[in-house]
Amino acid sequence: MDSPAAKGKYISGEKSVKVVLIDPRLSAKDEYGSLKDVSNIIPNLGLAYIASALRNRGYDVKIVDCSVSEISLESLKDICADYLPDVFGFTATVLSIQSACKAAEYLKVFFPDSLFVIGGPQVTALPFEVMNQKYFDVGVLGEGEDTVLELLDCFSLSEDGFSKVPGLIYWNRQQAAWELSPKREYISDLNRRPFPARDLFVPLNRYSYSPVSTLKSPCCHIISSRGCPYSCSFCDKSVTGSVFRARNASDIVDEIEHLIKDFKVKEIKFFDDNFAFDSKRVFDLCDLILKKKINISWTCVVHANTVSYELLRRMKMAGCWQVVFGLESGNQKILDSVSKPLTLDISARAIRLAKRLRMNTRATFILGLPGETSETIRQTLSFAKKLNIDTVSFYVFSPYPGSVLFKDLEIKGQLRHRNYQYYRLIIDQKNHCLPYVPEGLTEEALTESINYCYRAYYLRFAYVFRQLADLLNFYQLRRYLRCLRPLFSIFKER
Ligand code: B12
Ligand code: SF4
């Protein structure tokens, strides 16, 4: 194959290089089905980090988010024809890889001389599989900010320089094969890096954060640390790795202030892998928010074993109104078997502490992990009920490429298929085909159990009564009203 990258003919060196970054995700309706109105339809920060790195280096950058704007391939081509990019950069997860390939295949016909780059979790997890489809010229593996700059720098100087840029998969012409360049080190210092270029997305008000987790808007999410030292076997850590690297309080507060000033943001969501792993850092962050009297409401996803009463109290004082816990299962054996470093007691304690402080609690459970039975599903449901968590999500297990479980199940021949459009944690009632079903269960039984869990959890007198008590708060009332309509339609469908 003579990849255009090998020809090196699109970077002239004289004109400013134009890069279009594309999030090719499905339309929100196709991705979330009946759950669309309670899901996060939000800008992709990975792409925004790439954009800001490129812009800082003087490249001309544009972002096209196909999801929120529901852009067809034809309009995508028209947008690109107006802009005439030298480089196309796609991002993709397991769920969006097929759309990314489709878009690249289509656009290549019209822009045969441009460089087609793919980055993100899916190519990082399965580099050869993605590149063998031959829609892309080069893949960026892992964190891409430094790699993409070196890629484009070297590209304008020498056509064969890719092998020297760490973090790539590229076409080796001599070998006529895809080859990995040396591994890229994780970014060790995340401070003082340019903030994500959120201004390159369509206006923020076109996006929507799930009302389940949002009190005030406009809202934005922040990644304040990367990497997680835990080893849950269902989690894909290919991009951010196992070493916890964190931004300091003042760098995070600078970003919060920038969001308040430039985007009028009233709420922040921290979507870190393990936000409170370093509790001192979170204390510092809260203290700085309080010291600077920043009026911001926020939420975060935390691991239950990283929180204490004192930490939650300080978080609440600094504006945190909801804590989200990945509790995964109400059965200890399942937790142990997926290497989740959590006991049921720790989970219960964390929820109780947050409730004692009258913080809103949210938990996510994964049903259908290996070893799951109807009985363990019942245990999970009754565990959630016992804790009376404010909001629970019952996701279906999907073996994500890059995770230990994906590899295990693949080796054991237990993956039912590799049609990645079905690798999702939210079940689409009308169109699903689970990639994995545990022994002893059927797809129908598992999906019906999940539907049952939702109904059995939310349609309870004790639950409704407790939630009604919160309605005294204006913001909570508005939040409930926003959740109500989609919830009714979900129950109708389920
Ligand atoms: C926030 C988040 C979401 C949000 C927002 C998604 C969005 N629009 O950004 C929501 C909740 C909507 C979401 C949904 C899903 N998510 Co998600 N999500 C995350 C989370 C927690 C943080 C993402 C993030 O901002 N990371 C920080 C940035 C810096 O990393 P990054 O996005 O990977 O980008 C870097 C590199 O990948 C690379 N890069 C990325 N794109 C590009 C493009 C180019 C051109 C270049 C050069 C480089 C490059 O450079 C970036 C900067 O370093 C990650 C976990 C994680 N640690 O990343 C999971 C994660 C990305 N999600 C995952 C999954 C599976 C999903 C869902 C499929 C879940 C589902 N619903 O079933 C969907 C898929 C959505 C979609 N259509 O693609 C998996 C992906 C696994 C895989 N192999 O694909 C992850 C890794 C979770 C995990 N640990 O298993 N997610
Ligand atoms: S699921 Fe969460 S706690 Fe477990 S390894 Fe992944 S990021 Fe860490």
What pLDDT was estimated at residue 314? 98
Q: Please work out whether the CB of residue 274 comes within 6 Å of at least one atom of ligand 2.
A: yes
From the CA of 301, how far away is ligand 2's center (Å)? 11
**HEC profile of 167-215:** CEEEEECCCCEEEECCCCCCCCCCCCCCCCCHHHCCCHHHCECCHHHCC
| Domain residue limits, the chain | 18-180, 209-493
Look at phi and psi of residue 228 and say left if phi exceeds 0, alpha if psi is from -120 to 50, else beta.
Answer: beta
Distance between CA atoms of residues 417 and 72, nearest Å: 27
| The ligand 2 atom nearest the CA atom of 237 | 6
Residue 346: other Cβ atoms inside 10 A: 18
From the CA of 124, how far away is ligand 2's center (Å)? 17
What pLDDT was estimated at residue 466? 80
pLDDT digits (tens, 9 = 90+) for 233-279: 999 999 999 999 999 999 999 999 999 999 999 999 999 999 999 99
What pLDDT was estimated at residue 227? 98
Q: Please work out whether the CB of residue 277 comes within 6 Å of at least one atom of ligand 2.
A: no
From the CA of 337, how far away is ligand 2's center (Å)? 14
Q: Which ligand is located closest to the Cα atom of residue 44?
A: 1
| The ligand 2 atom nearest the CA atom of 234 | 1
CB 115 within 8 A of CB 5: yes
Distance between CA atoms of residues 387 and 331, nearest Å: 14
Distance between CA atoms of residues 164 and 311, nearest Å: 45
Q: Please work out whether the CB of residue 230 comes within 6 Å of at least one atom of ligand 2.
A: yes
Check whether domain 209-493 has CATH 3.90.1150.200, yes or no: no
What pLDDT was estimated at residue 12? 44
Whose C-alpha lies nearest to ligand 1, atom 74? Answer: 95
Check whether domain 18-180 has CATH 3.30.1380.20, yes or no: no
Q: Which of 391-405, 445-459, 464-478 has the lowest mean pLDDT?
A: 464-478
Question: Mean pLDDT of all residues in the chain?
Answer: 92
Query: pLDDT grade, residue 135 (50/70/90)?
Result: very high
From the CA of 276, how far away is ligand 2's center (Å)? 12
pLDDT digits (tens, 9 = 90+) for 330-382: 999 999 999 999 999 999 999 999 999 999 999 999 999 999 999 999 999 99
Whose C-alpha lies nearest to ligand 2, atom 2? Answer: 273
From the CA of 228, how far away is ligand 2's center (Å)? 6
What pLDDT was estimated at residue 494? 63
pTM reported for the whole predicted model: 0.95
